[in-house]
Amino acid sequence: MALNGDAPFRDDGPEAIKAARVRWRRRQIVDAATGLLIRVGFQRMLITDLAKEAGVSVGTIYQYVDSKEDILTLIVRDILETYRAEVPAAMEGIEDPIERLEAGFRAYCSIVDERRAATLLAYQEGKNVPKKGLEDLKNMELETNSYFADCIREAVAQGRACCAEPDLTAFNLTMLAHTWALKHWYLKTHFSLDEYIKLQLGAVLRSIVSDDYHDAYKHLTGVAKA
């Protein structure tokens, strides 16, 4: 039966349930693989151990991957898909490109914080990601990087920023976000996540915000026009 008055009936309930189950099962495997890989490393990890860690059968694991190497692709893809879903959502509806950049960077850093182990693992074991999926992952990374670069280009077009290399600055921002995971053992003893975001974004914005807009963004840069 329809739940929205005049809305047409669509019998997609079973498909929706199936899709949700696939997402839940993949999340289960990704979380188990991340923890296991951090503990024992890629070379020592066995599919049988992963199945036991995830509480599923070996056959279930092979429904999602063809090889042990594909598990790394699954982990990295999961992080990138989270960026793809949550970063644009955080930026949506914000007209000012600098304010939009701040919202996107904050969302990106929050995801890194939630997935610190997976982020660290992607750097440690990236060399083992199979080539067959590597180009796709690179393209996904470029897409997430473009969220920041597009904001910077728009800010430059409006005279709010002066930046000759928006793509490079965008990559700098993503690397600063990843650093929260890579050096968390040290950073956590000196800064909260919110403090880290404000300090790192402020440093980047001070280098690109136009002189005429320093006062407008002093709440982000921490510095007003002299």
pTM for the structure as a whole:
0.84
Q: How confident is the model at residue 202 (pLDDT cuts 50, 70, 90)?
A: very high
Residues 47, 64: contact at Cβ < 8 Å?
no
Say yes or no: 205 and 96 in one domain. Answer: yes
Task: Name the DSSP letter for residue 222.
Answer: S
pLDDT digits (tens, 9 = 90+) for 78-88: 999 999 999 99
CATH of the domain at 32: 1.10.10.60
What is the spatial distance between Cα 63 and Cα 110, in angstroms, rounded to a whole number? 31
pLDDT value, residue 12: 62
pLDDT digits (tens, 9 = 90+) for 114-163: 999 999 988 988 888 888 888 889 999 999 999 999 999 999 999 999 98
Say yes or no: 45 and 120 in one domain. Answer: no
Say yes or no: 138 and 207 in one domain. Answer: yes
Judge whether 186 lies within some domain. yes
Say yes or no: 172 and 192 in one domain. Answer: yes
What is the spatial distance between Cα 87 and Cα 104, in angstroms, rounded to a whole number? 5
- Indicate if the pLDDT at residue 21 is higher than 50: yes
Say yes or no: 55 and 153 in one domain. Answer: no
Say yes or no: 93 and 29 in one domain. Answer: no
- Indicate if the pLDDT at residue 203 is higher than 90: yes
> The domain containing residue 20 runs over which residues?
11-64
Average pLDDT over every residue of 48-54: 91
| 3-class DSSP state of 161 | strand
Q: How confident is the model at residue 26 (pLDDT cuts 50, 70, 90)?
A: confident
- Indicate if the pLDDT at residue 226 is higher than 80: no
Question: What total number of domains does the chain contain?
Answer: 2
Residue 105 in tokens: 């960077």
- Indicate if the pLDDT at residue 105 is higher than 50: yes
pLDDT value, residue 225: 55
Say yes or no: 19 and 91 in one domain. Answer: no
Residues 217, 98: contact at Cβ < 8 Å?
yes
What is the spatial distance between Cα 114 and Cα 193, in angstroms, rounded to a whole number? 11
Average pLDDT over every residue of 155-179: 96
**% of the chain residues with pLDDT over 90:** 60
pLDDT value, residue 47: 92
153 alpha-carbon distance from chain centroid: 21
Say yes or no: 105 and 56 in one domain. Answer: no
Judge whether 117 lies within some domain. yes
Mean pLDDT of the chain: 89
CATH of the domain at 100: 1.10.357.10
Q: Please provide the distance, in angstroms rounded to a whole number, between the alpha carbons at the two ends of the chain.
A: 65
Judge whether 4 lies within some domain. no
pLDDT value, residue 3: 39
- Indicate if the pLDDT at residue 196 is higher than 60: yes
CA geometry: angle 51, 57, 59, nearest 5 deg: 110
Say yes or no: 183 and 147 in one domain. Answer: yes
HEC readout, 179-220: HHHHCHHHHCCCCCHHHHHHHHHHHHHHHHECHHHCCCCHHH
Judge whether 148 lies within some domain. yes
Say yes or no: 32 and 100 in one domain. Answer: no
- Using CA atoms, how far residue 68 sits from 38, 190, 210, in Å, is 15, 38, 49
